[in-house]
Structure 1
Amino acid sequence: MAEQQRIRLIIIGDEILSGRRQDKHFASLVEMLGQRGMKLHGAEIISDDADHIEATLRRSFASPDIVFCCGGIGATPDDQTRQAAARALGVPLQLHPEAAALINERSQEMAAAGKGSADPNHPENQQRLQMGVFPEGAEIVPNSFNKIPGFYIQNHTFMPGFPVMAWPMMKWTLDTRYQALQHLQPTMEYSFLAFSLPESRITPALESVEQQWPGIKVFSLPSVGEEGGRPHIELGVKGEAQAAAAALQFLRLEVERLGGELSAS
């Protein structure tokens, strides 16, 4: 049986791990996927360390997963993602001709605005070209913000860490490369709040749901009653719409049978 293709997110940056910046990609990608009937399977945040990136990508490339990778594709010493990706794949780095053309075009636009030189041999422009050096075999990912592209290779899309650049790249990738995977299995998620009921008492009913309705996933999110609220459990189901509705009704009846109180979420 072929291994299932899942969607994952890798966020690269010491600034996230140190707390100097807060990640915004996770929530944004979850929202984009939800709008397209897709879901995120997993996410991880890793450091700028070149060996760490390489090891992570080597493992990731070994899977069939669709992966969005944010950060570390600039041209400063702490940007090591392009190099690590090439090593993980065992291929050389090379200047991508389409990327070079777009970067030169961006340099000319900046020069026209009085910011720098239009000469492609100018040291700043030569340095900027390093952002178009990708692993051999990569394809460009358009950057609608400033034309300096990301790259795509082996179901991995590599983007800058800046949300204003990365998020349009994510949308473009989903709608260009993976449109056929959108809305394949219409799913619904329902939940409600249960009061005066310990989680241990409702657990057998949650297990029963997944046995009676294969493919339906249950969740239980207890709250101790923060900010003066009543302690409760948010109980829910997600999966194919008709089965999820039936499972939800079963759970509500079980909560009442077991002495709990219901409230719509």
Structure 2
Amino acid sequence: MNFYSVIIGTELLNGRRKDAHFAFLNEQLLKRGWTHKASFVIEDDVDLMKNIFELILADKDSVMFCFGGIGATPDDYTRKIAAEVFRKGKMEFHPKAKELIENQFKQEAYPHRINMSYLPTKAKLLKNVVNNVPGFYLDNRFFFTPGFPSMSQSMIVEALDKYYLKNDIKKYRSTLVASCGENELINIMQTIPYNIELSSLPRIKGEKREVEVSLLSKSKEETNKYFKLFLDYLIKNNIEYLVK
């Protein structure tokens, strides 16, 4: 699966608030053997939001966690845009969400708070441990949570535990640190097939150059095969290296 996060909030981009969503979600994904495909921090802009949602929907293996914009104020666009992208504009009052909001706020649920139960059709709910106003999700893949970390974090855990508890696909990584610049290893890097994840991290320590090269794939044999190309080159050219 390809995991995406969409963090909505102009106040994050203008510095009025600090983001806490990415770090928490990323930590939870890594604990379960998953990684982010991409993360977006965007302002409260309906066209931008729609474009990002459509981009993620186009990935057939996508899983999205969206933060913010599901409240009842005029700048909360997420529920409506989610319906446009994922449900062809169809929305309805979710009976259980409506009941939760009415029970939580009594007469103050009307006329505005109740609109937080107006969701894309066939939405399922995420529990809000703070005030019972639920988040929601669609197709077991697209999760929409409040902008408050105190509310969203338990929803992330709920969603991952229910649908994406653990990545059972084993991957094999090999890593080395070589006492040379990465430019010297680019010819070998160019031979690495697309299905093997390659990372190259150059370092400068005073006048000394180093590069950390790491390969990751689902095949132990393939990882070892291409990793050996680097080892053979380094040995042949008397370049010091350390396998991590």
TM class by smaller structure = 0.7 to 0.9
Counterpart position of 2:209? 231
Deviations 1:82-117 (A, max 9, x none): 12112333233322111122223333xxxxxxxxxx
Query: Structure 2: 5+ residue runs without aligned partners?
Result: none
- SS in structure 1 of the partner of residue 144 of structure 2: strand
Aligned pairs for 1:1-265 (under 5 A) are 6-64=2-60, 65-88=62-85, 89-107=87-105, 120-122=106-108, 126-154=111-139, 155-179=141-165, 182-195=166-179, 197-208=180-191, 210-211=192-193, 215-225=195-205, 230-240=208-218, 242-243=220-221, 244=223, 247-248=226-227, 250-263=229-242
Cα deviations by residue, 1:174-221 (Å, 9 ceiling, x for unpaired): 221234xx33311243433222x121211122234x24xx74322101
CA-based RMSD: 2.6
Count of paired positions: 240
Post-superposition offset of 1:158: 0.6
- Output the CA distance in 2 between the equivalents of 1:260 and 1:162: 51
Residue pair 1:201, 1:258 contacting (<8 A) in 2 also: no
TM-score (norm 2): 0.84
AA matched with 1:78? D
8 Å CA contact retained: 2:4, 2:56: no
Is there any run of 5+ residues in structure 1 with no aligned partner, and where?
108-119
Distance 2:186 2:129 in 1: 49
* SS, match of residue 133 in structure 2: coil
Equivalent pair of 1:191/1:236 in contact (CA under 8 Å) = yes
